[in-house]
Amino acid sequence: MSPLLMTAAILLVAIGLAHSVLGERFLIAPLLADRNMKIFNKAPLAKNILRFAWHITTVAWWGMAVAVWDLSGKTAVNSLTVYGFVAAFVVTGVMILAWTRGKHVAWIVFFAIAGCLWAGV
């Protein structure tokens, strides 16, 4: 078992949980409760789309966590799969870092995931 790949999988589960719980509490719920958000009055389906689009990201990260955990037990790892994940998490980290100017700390976790994946193969 590769401890680095296992660590990356655990970080993916943790960031997904934080994303859904904290995002729902501090972003999604307040947005949906705001009566001044006219789009929700004109298109009620938009509320559900916003909520499921937010939480589907967590589902995707958890799916990746399962794939990474599975790879951690293999003796021969498909490096293209891992490097694809590395690229995705580096880009995610860069986007968060750039768009929030470092104020949102998730970029650290995504770089840590990418680093664990890179070093784990």
CA angle 35, 104, 39 (to 5 degrees): 20
In this structure, are residues 68 and 81 in contact, taking their beta carbons and an 8 Å threshold?
no
Amino acid at 40: F
What is the predicted pLDDT for the residue at 74? 83
* CB contact at 8 A, 117 and 68: yes
| Confidence at residue 35, expressed as pLDDT on a 0 to 100 scale | 86
Sign of the Cα torsion 7, 114, 82, 120 reads negative
For the chain, the domains span 3-120
pLDDT in tens, 10-56: 999 999 999 999 999 999 999 999 988 888 888 889 999 999 999 99
State pLDDT tens for residues 68-117: 999 998 877 778 999 999 999 999 999 999 999 999 999 999 999 999 99
Phi, psi for 37 (deg, rounded to 5) = -80, 90
